Amino acid sequence: MTRRALSLLGVLAAVLLGAGSAGAATNTQNDLLSELFAPADTNLNVFGTNACPHVLPSFNDGYQFPEQHVTFPVVLAWRVADSVLLFALLGLGAWLFHSRRDRRWLWLPLGAGLFWFGFLRHGCICPIGAIGNVTAALARPGAIGLSLFTVIAFLLPLAAALVFGRVFCGAVCPMGAMQELLGGRARRVPRRLDRVLRLGGWLLLAGALAAAVRALALPICKLDPFVTLFRLTGPRELWLYTAAFLLLCVLVARPYCRWLCPYAKLLGLFAKISFLGRRIDAASCGRCGACESQCPVDAIRDGHIDLFACVACGRCTENCARKAVR
């Protein structure tokens, strides 16, 4: 294992420890808020003891106080922060992707997305889960609540893909960041096998849409191999599933993005017609094949970039000596 890989794993371990501390702190804050806004106990006097000087009347008519729900402003603040940060990271990632030839710059937004949306927010906001939420809300209006922030998480990466290509995958997505972190020396699979495996994302997308329309179910989240890692909790079976998939990420470049992610298919459709998507200038290209050999997802063939499959990782730009990839 290279020194770079060891350093990256060290950073990941630090993030995991920090995320656990942050989660504990958040739980403590929530407990304090719950106590602060909890209904007062009528058996307590001003000194906080149970020795109430007056006898309280007893009611035996069977009446039960309704369960109280308190919405804290902090929840709204988190949602606003999620949306603002998503917009900022998409903009920063798009700028770095199109202006810097050194792909290491992309780790600025990618690392921030991994920490915030991955470990700190435990995999939320989740554009993948938003597919089911939006579909269910459109199929049966009023059946489930659809917040503004869910709509933002679903539409904003698609809008960025329409303009810049799949910059969400290459510069923001926490699941993409984990695959990049583990797959520094991952190998590509044969193209014929890759074509067959890519059908998995379409099947999951179709199944998720059908489930959301018919039963308002969201099975996509159950197939997310990273949710257990981000939330640091789950049964043993899910941990084994996560560990097996992380091992696959070490061996194969971006397996989830290419073969399983249903949201990647939607992003690819928008990126296919993107205005500023990555392209190769035929006049400057020397047909050396460097960009094609370095592309981890086999998105470059015969001097042409398939914007549907391109995950905006920046390797083609970094390895083009003629600067023909623009």
Q: What is the pLDDT of residues 139-171, one digit of tens each?
A: 777 666 677 888 888 999 999 999 999 999 999
Pick from 257, 276, 274, 267: nearest CA to 95: 276
- Total tally of structural domains belonging to the chain: 1
**Is pLDDT above 70 for 67?**
no
Range of the domain at 136: 72-318
**Is pLDDT above 50 for 277?**
yes
Which pLDDT score is estimated for 92?
95
Residues pairing with 252 in the sheet: 187
For residue 27, being part of any structural domain is answered with no
Which pLDDT score is estimated for 188?
78
Pick from 260, 111, 133: nearest CA to 177: 111
pTM for the structure as a whole: 0.74
For residue 183, being part of any structural domain is answered with yes
Which pLDDT score is estimated for 18?
45
Instruction: Give SS3 for 302.
Output: coil
For residue 233, being part of any structural domain is answered with yes
For residue 23, being part of any structural domain is answered with no
Place of tokens 């501390």: 21
For residue 112, being part of any structural domain is answered with yes
3-state helix, strand, coil in the chain (%, to 5): 60, 0, 35
**Is pLDDT above 50 for 181?**
yes
For residue 52, being part of any structural domain is answered with no
For residue 84, being part of any structural domain is answered with yes
> Is the Cβ–Cβ distance between 307 and 274 less than 8 Å?
yes
**Is pLDDT above 70 for 40?**
no
For residue 234, being part of any structural domain is answered with yes
How long is the chain? 326
Longest dimension (CA), the chain: 93
